[in-house]
Amino acid sequence: MVRIINDDYYPLTGDKDVWTCISHLVQEEKSAQKQKRSVRSKGASLRGVPSSKRRRLPLLVSLCGGFLLSLGIFSLFLVHWRRRRNTMNKTTKQMPKKAMTHFHDELVEAELEQGASGPRPFSYQELTVATDNFSEDRALGRGGFGSVYRGFMGDMNREVAVKRVSETSRQGWKEFISEVRIISRLRHRNLVQLIGWCHGGEELLLVYDLMHNGSLDTHLYRPDCVLTWPVSIFRYEIMLGLGLALLYLHQDTEQRVVHRDIKPSNIMLDASFTAKLGDFGLARLINDGRRSHTTGIAGTMGYIDPESVLAGRASVESDVYSFGVVLLEVACGRRPTLVQEDGDVVHIVQWVWDLYGRGSVLDTADEWLRGEFDEGQMERVMVLGLWCAHPDRGMRPSIRQAVSVLRSEAPLPSLPARMPVATYGPPTNHSSSGTLVLSRVSGR
C-alpha cells in the first residue's frame, strides 16, 4: 500500500508506518494553515486598514482636497478685496468737516435727496475712471467755481461732461446744491440734461450729457469757426432755442426758475448745434409772485440788469435783460463792454441804441459775417435785443412776447430814438446783506 504525500511516495508496511504517515500529514496540515495566516497578516499590514476602511479612504481624500481648494479660493478673494479696498481708500476720501459744516450735514443730504429724483448718484471712483483720473487731456474748460472734463461712462455707453466744483468752496457748495436741486426737476430739449452727481469725497461733481460743439462764445470769437446766419441752422435758430428755454423756465414749469447767469459761455451746442442752456449754479426758484426772494448780486458783469445790482434781487425781468444783451452780442459779434476809439467804455446796449436812433442799426452787424445775412432777421434780432434790455424793466417784454417776435408771430415794438434814462428807487436792505457773486468777460 502506498500513500502519496506532497508528491512523495510513502510505502505502508506496518502499524508503525501508518502512524508515522498520519503524523506527517498532521504536521503538513498545520504548516499549511500557519503559512495562510502569515500571508493574511502580511496582506493586512500592506493595506494598512480593513477593507471597510479602505473603501472610505477615497472619500476622505476628496473631502480634504475640496476643503484645501476652497481655502485657497477664499484666500485669493480676500487678497483681492483688500487690494481693492486700499485702492478705494487712496482715491476716495472723507469730506472735510469744515466744508460740511457750512450747510450742516443733515441739510446737505436733505437737499440732495429732495432734488435728485431724476439724476443718479455716482461714486467718485466711477468718475475718476471715466475721466482718466481727471487728466489734463480731458479738460474742456475752467470756470469761477471749478473745471469741466470730458468722460465716458462704460456701463451707460455714453459720453459725458463732468463738472468738478472747487474743493472746500462755500460758494461751490451752494452752486452744487442749487444745480442738483433745480435742474433735476427740469426736462426740456433746450436745457442741458443733468445725468448725475457725486459728493462722496473731497470733490463735488456734476455729470451732464456731453455737448460736442462746446459753448456759444467759442463760435462767436474764433475766426476759424464763425457761425453763419441761415434760419435753419446756427445763429438765429440758436437764439430762438435760448428763448424757448427761458420760456419754459419762466412760465411753463410748476415753479418758476430765475437763471441769473445767462451768457454765451453758458449756452451749449450739441452735435446738431441745438442750443441748450446750462450752468444752473446761480439759479433760484421763485416761490411767490414773479420776483425771487434771493439777496445779493449774482451773475456776470455786462449781463446783469442794472436795477438788480442796486436792488440786490433777481427776477424774470432781469433774465429777460440778460437775454436781450445776448441777442445783441450774437448779432454784433461783440462783448457787452466795448472800448471805443477814443478810449471810452460803452455798453453794447447803448452803442446799438445810438445807431438804431440814427437809422443805421445794421451797421452794428458782426463784421465776420461779411454782409451774408437776412437784413430783416438781423434787424428783428437787434430791435428785440434793445426791447429786452430796456432800462425800465416795466417796459420790457415777457419772454413769451420775445419768442413770438423771433418767430415773426408778433410785430416789432416802436422804440424811442434815444435810449431812455433809467430811474431806480433807493437800494433795499437786501443788497447790503447779500452775497456778491460776479465774474467778468474780456472784449473782442
- pLDDT tens column, 28-43: 666 766 665 654 554 5
For cell 409772485, name the residue.
289
Distance CA 268, CA 192 (A): 7
Is residue 378 within 8 A of residue 331, CB to CB? The reply is: yes
Mean pLDDT across 289-303:
65
Does 441 or 229 have the greater pLDDT score?
A: 229
Check whether 100 has a pLDDT greater than 50: no
pTM over 0.85: no
**202 pLDDT tier (thresholds 50, 70, 90):** low
Using alpha carbons, list the distances in angstroms from residue 244 to 176, 188, 231, 402: 25, 9, 15, 10
Check whether 93 has a pLDDT greater than 60: no
Check whether 115 has a pLDDT greater than 50: no
Taking alpha carbons only, the member of 264, 313, 306, 326 closest to residue 284 is: 313
Q: Write down the pLDDT at residue 97.
A: 37
Mean pLDDT across 411-416:
94
**343 pLDDT tier (thresholds 50, 70, 90):** confident
Per DSSP, the residues of 45-92 read: HHH-S-HHHHHHHHHHHHHHHHHHHHHHHHHHHHHHHHHHHHHHHHH-
CATH architecture for the domain at 97-209 = 2-Layer Sandwich (3.30)
Q: Write down the pLDDT at residue 299.
A: 80
Q: Write down the pLDDT at residue 338.
A: 85
Is 174 marked within a binding site?
A: no
Q: For the chain, what percent of residues have pLDDT higher than 90?
A: 37
Q: Write down the pLDDT at residue 23.
A: 63
Domains 97-209 and 216-439 share a fold: no
From 81-85, 265-269, 283-287, 332-336, the region with the lowest mean pLDDT = 81-85
Distance CA 129, CA 313 (A): 41
Q: Write down the pLDDT at residue 354.
A: 96
Number of H helices, E strands in the chain: 14, 16
Mean pLDDT across 96-118:
45
Using alpha carbons, list the distances in angstroms from residue 103 to 70, 172, 363: 50, 12, 51
**298 pLDDT tier (thresholds 50, 70, 90):** confident
Question: In whole numbers, what is the pLDDT of the chain averaged over residues?
Answer: 77
Instruction: Provide the Cα torsion 11, 16, 18, 24; round to 10°.
Output: -90
- The CATH code for residues 216-439 is 1.10.510.10
Q: Write down the pLDDT at residue 385.
A: 98
Does 310 or 97 have the greater pLDDT score?
A: 310
Q: At 124, is the secondary structure helix, strand, or coil?
A: helix
**361 pLDDT tier (thresholds 50, 70, 90):** very high
Q: Write down the pLDDT at residue 5.
A: 45
Mean pLDDT across 371-381:
92
Catalytic positions, please? 261
Q: What are 413's strand-pairing partners?
A: none
Check whether 349 has a pLDDT greater than 60: yes
Check whether 72 has a pLDDT greater than 90: no
Q: Write down the pLDDT at residue 64.
A: 76
Q: Domain spans of the chain?
A: 97-209, 216-439
**170 pLDDT tier (thresholds 50, 70, 90):** low
Does 166 or 323 have the greater pLDDT score?
A: 323
Does 175 or 11 have the greater pLDDT score?
A: 175
pLDDT tens digit string along 245-257? 999 999 998 889 9
Does 184 or 25 have the greater pLDDT score?
A: 184
Q: Write down the pLDDT at residue 185.
A: 81
Cell representation of residue 385: 435785443
**232 pLDDT tier (thresholds 50, 70, 90):** very low
pLDDT tens digit string along 260-294? 999 999 999 999 999 999 988 888 888 655 444 45
Which H helix or E strand runs over 357?
A: helix 348-357
Q: Write down the pLDDT at residue 386.
A: 98
**153 pLDDT tier (thresholds 50, 70, 90):** very high
Q: At 276, is the secondary structure helix, strand, or coil?
A: strand
Q: Please, is 281 exposed, middle or buried when counting C-beta atoms within 10 Å of its C-beta (0-12, 13-18, 19+)? A: buried
